[in-house]
Chain A
Amino acid sequence: MASLPCDYCGHTFLLDLERCPHCARPGLFPNVRLAQLPENVQALDERYQKAVAGAAARGCEERVRELESAAGRSKAVLARPLAEVDRLATSDRELYASFYELQGVRLPADDVWNRLRRAADNILFPGHTDKVRFAALSLGPVGLSNYGDCSVVLRDDLIDYRATAFEANSVLFLKQRNFEEPPGSRAPWEERSKLCVAKLAGEIEPTTPSEKLAELVLQPGATSEEDRFVEVHIWGPFTRRAFERVTVTPSLGKRPKKVLIKALANRLKEIGVPLEDQT
């Protein structure tokens, strides 16, 4: 486990600690500290420089710069079923929480996927696998519809200090690499555009239209395994106060009842969050 010096007392401590053991001051969020490790920063920079040089050689540097600029404004978007977003929006209401809680049967924690997930998380967030929430980077208001018909754009100001971007779906990415994380696969939030360039510049041609750039960053597949995206890791919990806007999109399953969408829109309106119904 790597160590970094404490910002206050200067003594080093392990990355997975949330607090300096020497002076007891809070440390940075572990995922952010890991992304800031010198070897990671250097590897990402090398990938980025190589990608930009390659783009220049192919005559598409301008397009790549356009991608970089757009990715710098990209958002973390969470896609979940409408009922789940509604539960998050009503989690402070006893009326809803008490009767939803009664249902009580969830997916067992020991299924194949959860074992893989834990393995991947232990590599990415040692000791803190339960503290990270996942989203996808998007240039628009819609996320990965395979995860649900309701896309929630998260507010930058409530996540930028604790969010990092990762190359792709971390479970699949690490499984394909025998659970070895290559340096330069993750970036602090403010460097997410660099990661996007490092990952995607090779797919850009001089003729690539601007509107295609958003699809390069996030492209839902027929199934979630075929989704292409940059994963966002957010340390710690969030509530509906972290919502910036919500979009309900058509999905494979049954269309949600209009009144359920209206009720959610009403709850969100109270806290200044707009909802767009695209169904």
Chain B
Amino acid sequence: MRAVVSGQAGIALLWDGNRLSSLHAGVDGPPVPRRPREIPLLLGAANDLEFLDRIERPQVAQKLARASDEADALHLALILLDATLPYDIRREASLELEELLDGPEIQEHLEKTFYARPLPAEADLAGALVHRAGPTERVGVFLRSLDSLQMAIAEIAWAWREIPDEVFGSPGERAEAQTAAMRGGLFRDLVRARAEAREGEAFWRNGLLHPSVQILKNQRAVLQAWLSPFREDRRAEPAWPESPFVWAQEVAEAPEEETGSPRIRVDRRQALAGDRAAAERLVQALKPVIQRSVAHSLLLWHRGAAAGRSIRQEVEDLTQEILLQLFADDGKVLRRWHPAKGLSLERFVGLVAQRQTSAVLRADKRSPWKEIPTLPEELDQAISPEAAASSREQLELLLARLKKDLEKDLSPLGWHLFDLLFLRELSIEEVVEQTGLSSDAVYRWRSRLSHRVQRWRAEMSARPGKL
């Protein structure tokens, strides 16, 4: 018997001699007789077809059940990563996904798919970790691995894109080879090898001996071209820093912390209020978000012009620059974020990083992907860690100065309200609840305090020199 199985369509078609019939996922009944002309209608635009030879009906039914679960798992994982969907839907998706991940083969399928391409900038990985429901440990493990491997995923995907079409034969054959390599788990295994910092030769052998390589046309040349950047760079650095989202997991599991990512919001407020430790935590939390966004923008932008340059170094450099920008000028960019505007802080920072990277890439002089690279001394000047640290120090000093100046002018109640409204960024309702004032009174105070801060800013600008 021959068969074709699609999890997306939820259908398996069976050919037994000249008889055609269909099995349907989730239905135990006998096969439904079919005619060949029904095939395209039944399979629709499904693109996850698996063709099977010499197979019996029970095995086809098993394959169909698994393929259907795999299609659902992919769909659910994408919903979980989708920042535009409401919290309750993402949470429900995490519960459904947790159930599916009970089978190791489903986890394997997700890894094979998600390790073949870096997450686009719009993917909200931090939000997925925070929004997932409490008892979803398998989902947490998957997401944290996905997070920690993003740099290695980007590198392997970038190296794949670097292989000239001629090596495959044609663009169509290239696409087929990509699907075969993805389904065979070659992307996933190379990503793991890269992340584990295996030595160049071991990495190369790992690829060459992989079973799915055997199904690639022109396999040796493809693999040689694919892995050549890594053979040249035998240092095999660690791929991605330790995941910063461990704390997000803790936050997610706390029942009272159900919306947003409160820890990072608190760190932001405290950092802007001059807390050095909070600023460090915030930098550590935001860095991977920025790196992911930068890496993705670079990969999208680049095609050939970056030959000979290290994508890893460029990501690191741009990340530092963007961190600097976030904190510069009294944390002006960071202050623009507000939870009421609907974006998580991580997503907001990801967008800032995306825009800044695009701006750098568009600019003639600054683009790291130009054939004439930016001078190292220029980069050092712009983005050195010393400069970033200095910026944070300036921010701390600025906030201390603000506090000192305002405390002189304001009554204890005024300062308390300033703290609640501007430093802790509580809503009017929350301030009403905490102080017992009427909402009208809080609105009036907010307006008065806002004018005072503007005056203070103007005075500061007029003062010569630094703080």
Q: What is the interface of chain A, defined by CB distance below 8 A to chain B? A: 80-81, 83-84, 86-87, 93-96, 98-107, 111-114, 116-117, 146-148, 171-172, 223-225, 252-255, 257-260, 262-263, 266-267, 270
Q: A111's contact among B40, B71, B93, B113, by CB below 8 Å, is which?
A: B40
> Are A112 and B37 in contact, CB atoms less than 8 angstroms apart?
yes
> Are A107 and B36 in contact, CB atoms less than 8 angstroms apart?
no
Within 8 A of A (CB), among B29-84: 32, 34-50, 68, 71-72, 74-76, 78-79, 81-82, 84
Residues of A within 8 A of B79 (CB): 259-260, 263
Within 8 A of A (CB), among B85-118: 85-86, 89, 92-93, 96, 113-114, 116-117
> Are B38 and A83 in contact, CB atoms less than 8 angstroms apart?
no
Question: For residue B300, which residue of chain A has the nearest CB?
Answer: A94
Knowing A105-B50, A113-B36, A262-B92, the reply to whether A95 touches B25 (Cβ < 8 A) is: no
| A111–B84 alpha-carbon span in the complex (Å) | 40
| Shortest distance from the beta carbon of A275 to any chain B beta carbon, whole Å | 13
| A147–B9 alpha-carbon span in the complex (Å) | 10
B206 within 8 A of A: no
**Beyond A113-B39, A253-B10: 18 further Cβ-contacts under 8 Å?**
A81-B10, A81-B44, A83-B71, A84-B45, A95-B78, A95-B122, A98-B120, A102-B182, A104-B47, A104-B175, A105-B179, A106-B49, A107-B43, A254-B25, A254-B27, A259-B89, A263-B85, A266-B85
Residues of B within 8 A of A259 (CB): 76, 79, 89, 92-93, 96
| Shortest distance from the beta carbon of B41 to any chain A beta carbon, whole Å | 5
| Residue among A83, A114, A172 with the highest chain B CB neighbour number at 10 A | A83
B24 within 8 A of A: yes
> Are A105 and B49 in contact, CB atoms less than 8 angstroms apart?
yes
B171 within 8 A of A: no
| Shortest distance from the beta carbon of A6 to any chain B beta carbon, whole Å | 36
Q: 19 A-B residue contacts at CB 8 Å?
A: A81-B9, A84-B8, A84-B45, A86-B75, A93-B82, A94-B120, A98-B117, A99-B74, A99-B78, A102-B178, A103-B8, A103-B48, A223-B38, A225-B37, A252-B27, A254-B24, A257-B96, A263-B82, A266-B86
> Are A113 and B37 in contact, CB atoms less than 8 angstroms apart?
yes
Residues of B within 8 A of A113 (CB): 36-40
Question: For residue B22, which residue of chain A has the nearest CB?
Answer: A252
Residues of A within 8 A of B34 (CB): 223
B257 within 8 A of A: no
Question: For residue B81, which residue of chain A has the nearest CB?
Answer: A95
| A253–B37 alpha-carbon span in the complex (Å) | 20
Residues of A within 8 A of B35 (CB): 223, 225
> Are A254 and B50 in contact, CB atoms less than 8 angstroms apart?
no
Residues of B within 8 A of A87 (CB): 45
Q: What is the interface of chain B, defined by CB distance below 8 A to chain A? A: 8-11, 24-27, 32, 34-50, 68, 71-72, 74-76, 78-79, 81-82, 84-86, 89, 92-93, 96, 113-114, 116-117, 119-120, 122-123, 175-176, 178-179, 182
Knowing A104-B47, A225-B38, A263-B89, the reply to whether A99 touches B11 (Cβ < 8 A) is: no
> Are B47 and A105 in contact, CB atoms less than 8 angstroms apart?
yes
Knowing A95-B123, A262-B89, A263-B79, the reply to whether A100 touches B47 (Cβ < 8 A) is: yes
Knowing A107-B39, A259-B89, the reply to whether A147 touches B44 (Cβ < 8 A) is: yes
Q: B68's contact among A84, A148, A254, by CB below 8 Å, is which?
A: A254
| A254–B65 alpha-carbon span in the complex (Å) | 10
Knowing A93-B122, A107-B49, A113-B36, the reply to whether A99 touches B25 (Cβ < 8 A) is: no
| A82–B12 alpha-carbon span in the complex (Å) | 17
| A171–B45 alpha-carbon span in the complex (Å) | 18
| A84–B71 alpha-carbon span in the complex (Å) | 12
Residues of A within 8 A of B44 (CB): 80-81, 84, 147-148
> Are A99 and B93 in contact, CB atoms less than 8 angstroms apart?
no
Residues of B within 8 A of A224 (CB): 38, 41-42
Question: For residue B75, which residue of chain A has the nearest CB?
Answer: A260
> Are A95 and B120 in contact, CB atoms less than 8 angstroms apart?
yes
| Residue among B40, B71, B93, B122 with the highest chain A CB neighbour number at 10 A | B40
| A146–B42 alpha-carbon span in the complex (Å) | 8
> Are A105 and B24 in contact, CB atoms less than 8 angstroms apart?
no
Knowing A107-B40, A107-B49, A224-B41, the reply to whether A253 touches B72 (Cβ < 8 A) is: no
| A106–B179 alpha-carbon span in the complex (Å) | 11
Question: For residue A107, which residue of chain B has the nearest CB?
Answer: B43
| Residue among B41, B43, B113 with the highest chain A CB neighbour number at 10 A | B41
Residues of A within 8 A of B114 (CB): 99
> Are A103 and B47 in contact, CB atoms less than 8 angstroms apart?
yes
| A9–B24 alpha-carbon span in the complex (Å) | 56
Residues of A within 8 A of B71 (CB): 83
Residues of B within 8 A of A104 (CB): 47, 175-176, 178-179, 182
Residues of B within 8 A of A260 (CB): 72, 75-76, 79
Residues of A within 8 A of B68 (CB): 254
| Shortest distance from the beta carbon of A111 to any chain B beta carbon, whole Å | 6
| Shortest distance from the beta carbon of B9 to any chain A beta carbon, whole Å | 6
| Residue among B71, B114, B123 with the highest chain A CB neighbour number at 10 A | B123
| A80–B44 alpha-carbon span in the complex (Å) | 8
| Shortest distance from the beta carbon of B238 to any chain A beta carbon, whole Å | 26
Question: For residue A83, which residue of chain B has the nearest CB?
Answer: B8
| A96–B78 alpha-carbon span in the complex (Å) | 7
Closest 6 CB pairs of A and B: A254-B26, A104-B179, A253-B24, A94-B120, A103-B48, A253-B10
Residues of A within 8 A of B42 (CB): 224
Residues of B within 8 A of A258 (CB): 92
| A147–B41 alpha-carbon span in the complex (Å) | 6
> Are A117 and B40 in contact, CB atoms less than 8 angstroms apart?
yes
| A258–B117 alpha-carbon span in the complex (Å) | 28
Q: B37's contact among A94, A105, A171, by CB below 8 Å, is which?
A: A171
> Are A111 and B36 in contact, CB atoms less than 8 angstroms apart?
yes
| Residue among A87, A112, A116, A263 with the highest chain B CB neighbour number at 10 A | A263
Residues of B within 8 A of A253 (CB): 10-11, 24-27
| Residue among B47, B81, B117 with the highest chain A CB neighbour number at 10 A | B47
Question: For residue B118, which residue of chain A has the nearest CB?
Answer: A98
Residues of A within 8 A of B176 (CB): 104
| Shortest distance from the beta carbon of A91 to any chain B beta carbon, whole Å | 11
Residues of B within 8 A of A148 (CB): 44
| A80–B179 alpha-carbon span in the complex (Å) | 25
Residues of A within 8 A of B43 (CB): 107
> Are B179 and A102 in contact, CB atoms less than 8 angstroms apart?
yes
| A114–B50 alpha-carbon span in the complex (Å) | 19
> Are B10 and A254 in contact, CB atoms less than 8 angstroms apart?
yes
Residues of A within 8 A of B96 (CB): 257, 259
